Chains A and B, each alone.
Chain A
C-alpha cells in the first residue's frame, strides 16, 4: 500500500456515526449537555471507526467496517514501550 501523505496535523482515530467535535453539541432546555455515548456491548454491533495505522513499514488508514465479513480481534493496550 502506498504511503499516505503525512502532514503535521495530529491525526487520531475517529468513531463513525458519532458527532464530531466541531459540530454543535445538543443542549437540552435545562442547560445540561446531552452527549451521545456509544458503548460497546457483547451481542451488539461493534462501533465503527477509522484510524491511522502503522502496517509493515507503511502508514495506512483502517476502517473497521471494511473488514466485516471476517472474524476480528481488536486489542487495546495502555501504550507503546510499556512492559507487559
Chain B
C-alpha cells in the first residue's frame, strides 16, 4: 500500500479518493502504519485503511478467499456515478503497478468528459490521439491508429 500512498498526491490531483481494505482490524492498520509504512512514506498512509475482518466486503467484490481468510489484490476503479469501470485481481505474490491504475483513471476520465463519444485505443497515454467511434471509423481504424506508434 505504500506504493499507492507514494502516488496519493497525483491521484488527488486527478480527483481520485483512495481506500485500502484488508481483513486486519483498524487497530492493526494503525500499528502497521506507525511501525512500518510511515518509514516508507513520509507522514504515513494518507488515505482511509478499512477493516473487513469478516470478509463481507471482500465477498461482495469477489476477492475473499474463504480457505485462507485473506483478500486477493483486487483493485477497482469506481466512477463518480458509483459504477465500477475497471477491476484487476492478482494473487498475493505479485504487486500492482499503480502507474497503470492512474493511466486507466485518466483514460476513463477522457471518455467520460466526451460523454462516451471518444474511446482510448490500446496503450493510450494522456496526450495521445483518441478514437471517435462511429460509422466513419468502421474499417478505418488503421488510418487513425497503429499498434506500433
CB interface residues, B 108-128, toward A, < 8 Å: 108-109
- Determine if B84 and A71 form an interchain contact, defined as CB atoms under 8 angstroms apart: no
Q: Pick from B23, B24, B60: contact of A18, CB below 8 A.
A: B60
- Determine if A54 and B82 form an interchain contact, defined as CB atoms under 8 angstroms apart: no
- Determine if A71 and B21 form an interchain contact, defined as CB atoms under 8 angstroms apart: no
Q: Pick from B4, B52, B73, B75: contact of A13, CB below 8 A.
A: B52
Q: Pick from B22, B44, B86, B95: contact of A42, CB below 8 A.
A: B86
- Is A25 close to B, CB under 8 A? no
Q: Chain A: which residue is nearest B76 at the CB level?
A: A74
Chain A interface extent, by class: 35 or more
CB interface residues, B 54-85, toward A, < 8 Å: 54, 56-63, 70-85
- Determine if B48 and A76 form an interchain contact, defined as CB atoms under 8 angstroms apart: no
Decide if the interface of chain B is mainly helix, strand, loop or mixed.
mixed
- Determine if B73 and A77 form an interchain contact, defined as CB atoms under 8 angstroms apart: yes
- Determine if A76 and B82 form an interchain contact, defined as CB atoms under 8 angstroms apart: no
Tell me, in angstroms, the Cα distance from A48 to B16 when the chains sit together: 18
**Which chain B positions have C-beta within 8 A of A12?**
51-54, 56
- Is A46 close to B, CB under 8 A? yes
**Which chain B positions have C-beta within 8 A of A41?**
84
Known A-B contacts A74-B21, A75-B21; A82 and B92 likewise in contact (beta carbons under 8 Å): yes
- Determine if A84 and B19 form an interchain contact, defined as CB atoms under 8 angstroms apart: no
Known A-B contacts A46-B83, A56-B44, A68-B80; A77 and B22 likewise in contact (beta carbons under 8 Å): yes
- Determine if B72 and A76 form an interchain contact, defined as CB atoms under 8 angstroms apart: yes
- Determine if A51 and B44 form an interchain contact, defined as CB atoms under 8 angstroms apart: no
- Is B145 close to A, CB under 8 A? no
Residues of A within 8 A of B (CB): 10-15, 18, 37-49, 51-56, 59-60, 62, 64-65, 67-82, 84
Residues of B within 8 A of A (CB): 1, 4, 11, 14-33, 36, 44-54, 56-63, 70-87, 92-96, 101, 105, 108-109
5 tightest A-B CB contacts, nearest first: A13-B52, A54-B29, A80-B32, A47-B60, A12-B53
